[in-house]
Amino acid sequence: MELADKVLKCIDCGTDFVFSVGEQLFFRQQQFQNDPKRCKSCKVKRATAGPGGRSETHTTCSKCGAATTVPFLPTQGRPVLCRPCFQSKGGAARR
Long-range contacts of 30-37 (CB under 8 A, 24+ apart): 35/6, 35/8, 36/8, 37/8, 37/10, 37/11
Residue 94 pLDDT greater than 70, yes or no: no
* 39 and 74, same domain (yes or no): no
Phi-psi category of residue 49: left, alpha or beta, with phi > 0 → left and psi -120 to 50 → alpha: alpha
Q: With respect to residue 82, please indicate whether it lies within any of the assigned structural domains.
A: yes
Q: What is the count of structural domains for the chain?
A: 2
pLDDT at 75: 84
Domain co-membership, 11 together with 45: yes
Q: Per the domain annotation, does 1 fall within a domain?
A: no
Residue percentage of the chain with pLDDT more than 70: 86
Average pLDDT over residues 41-55: 75
Q: How confident is the model at residue 1 (pLDDT cuts 50, 70, 90)?
A: low
Strand, helix or coil at 92? Answer: coil
> What pLDDT does residue 91 have?
66
Q: Above pLDDT 90, what percent of the chain?
A: 55
